Structure 1
Amino acid sequence: MPAARPADGGAVRSSDAAAVAAVEVRDLHVRLDGTPILAGVDLTVAAGEWVTVIGPNGAGKSTLLRAVGGLLPASGAVSLFGTPSEALRRRDRARVVATVAQSPVVPAGMSVFDYVLLGRTPYIAPLGRESTADLAAAHEVLDGLDLAGFHDRELATLSGGERQRVFLARALAQGATLLLLDEPISALDIGHQQEVLELVDRLRREHGLTVLATMHDLSIAGEYADRMVLLAEGRVVAAGTPREVLTEQLLATWYRATVRVVDGDHGPLVVPIRPRR
């Protein structure tokens, strides 16, 4: 299933991606309701790379993704494919960045197909209608995510796992070059977790997508990420390959967890163990 592509280029073209980072975050500070959440975060994601941000609850992972996606003010701190985020108009940003949030708003009474079709909004003229290509893109991603029989179902009638796949389908239909995935598999069973992540990885390799994700499941995160960033107390405390970040010492320090790290075929596997009494 190829990733949906816009009929015309946005403000940032994929051909520019080879020369610049897909995401550049420098000294990002975010305060919410007066409380500091991020305190000087630096992050670089190369074009075509998969970077997963991990960290304990409250570390600021979702806040970081929201800032990168333009949903939180981050004046001068975030650039996308070499362009300062605040310089991008909303429609242009939507052609570059697609986000799958943890708990998206589900419009009342909306069908699965109509929801996925919303991903094509950046390519539809104001007061215009979707094209045949837009409809085909929506059908294509639904088929690729094993949702072919869900077109006319209302979103509200779906299980949590089914909804999560629909949320991803909308993001893929958007045809953006950067995917922001905030806990994309948290509501899925293990089979669909693998299907979704394999699909994202295949699209990344075949179509040059860049992925910035957050995940709680450390073993799965280590299986798919090229690099990992460990966020704690609002700052980056470790970054590198999965084998460099997923160490027993780092996880004990920042998660306060007793684990055993076992080397696997595609990355380290993190096994929780009961602490000795």
Structure 2
Amino acid sequence: MNAPAVRVHDLRVTLGGTPVLAGVDLTVAAGEWVTVIGPNGAGKSTLLRAVGGLLTGPGEVTLFGTPIGSLRRRDRARVVATVAQSPVVPIGMSVFDYALLGRTPYIPPLGRESAADLAAAHEVLDRLDLGPFAHRELATLSGGERQRVFLARALAQGATLLLLDEPTSALDIGHQQEVLELVDQLRREHGLTVLATMHDLSIAGEYADRLVLLADGRVAAAGPPEEVLTEELLARHYRAHIRVIPGDHGPLVVPVRPT
């Protein structure tokens, strides 16, 4: 039996003296798309950072059967790629050079990028409709355009596990759909595993195989979107007035004014 792509057991993370994750268990099968949802402050981004090796705490995190602490940084970068909410934008860097950073794990120390590395960066920019921006300075792009460049760098990395922290937060609805459809297409074509966080519950339910609802640093519910996106669960944990409507690809969550 193949090891899961991600296994988290009893993970606890404290930041600034405040417990953020209080014993989280999570398993993501290879090739699966799991999206973590939950109210602000639930620990969603912290969980992704721990899975990506950027945070540590008591508990266990394994990637494809290997404890994350056993992976050297370079080897880890060949396995997992992360799109953070607000990555640092290097001053003066072009869109192409930023995407090319995704190939760093494959470039020998003191070496230069190969023709294959250059081709990989060009290909992913074209797939994200960013080819015309290749020589533009990254800082001159709109928020939505920069978000697609951040995704391009992660995809150019060629990792088998993709961590997406609010990947559509800066995108209009058209580009939200384009980016998520592309991620899903690449997942099916290349066997990628996707672990994401999202605020938009309807979009989360349409694309994920499973949802994990975090609340107060713990898993409050997990399962197919139909089991997690219920009016009772969402009202309890989000303290919101909503209606859940069946959709073609998953439940649609509609906010409604209190009566």
Structure 2 Cα separation of the partners of residues 167 and 24 of structure 1? 26
Deviation at 1:75, TM superposition (A): 5.2
Length, aligned pairs only = 259
**Match in the other structure for 2:90:** 107
State the superposition RMSD in angstroms.
Answer: 0.7
Matches within 5 A, 1:1-277: 19-74=2-57, 76-276=59-259
In structure 1, the gaps of 5 or more residues are 1-17
In 2 relative to 1, CA 75–127 (structure 1 residues): closer, same or farther, beyond 3 Å? farther
Runs of 4+ in 1 over 6 A off after TM superposition: none
Structure 2 Cα separation of the partners of residues 235 and 51 of structure 1? 16
Structure 2 Cα separation of the partners of residues 240 and 193 of structure 1? 24
Structure 2 Cα separation of the partners of residues 73 and 273 of structure 1? 39
Q: Does structure 2 retain, via aligned residues, the 8 Å contact 1:76–1:86? A: no
Q: Does structure 2 retain, via aligned residues, the 8 Å contact 1:75–1:86? A: no
- Deviation string 1:55-111 (CA, Å, 9 cap, x unpaired) is 000000000000000000135510000000000000000000000000000000000
Percent of aligned pairs sharing the same letter: 83
In 2 relative to 1, CA 251–258 (structure 1 residues): closer, same or farther, beyond 3 Å? same
In structure 2, the gaps of 5 or more residues are none
User: SS in structure 1 opposite 2:139?
Assistant: helix
1:258 counterpart letter in structure 2 = H
Q: Does structure 2 retain, via aligned residues, the 8 Å contact 1:59–1:232? A: yes
Structure 1 Cα separation of the partners of residues 125 and 57 of structure 2? 34
Q: Does structure 2 retain, via aligned residues, the 8 Å contact 1:181–1:214? A: yes
**Match in the other structure for 1:7:** none
Structure 2 Cα separation of the partners of residues 75 and 137 of structure 1? 38
1:20 counterpart letter in structure 2 = A
TM-score of the two chains, using structure 2 as the length reference: 0.99
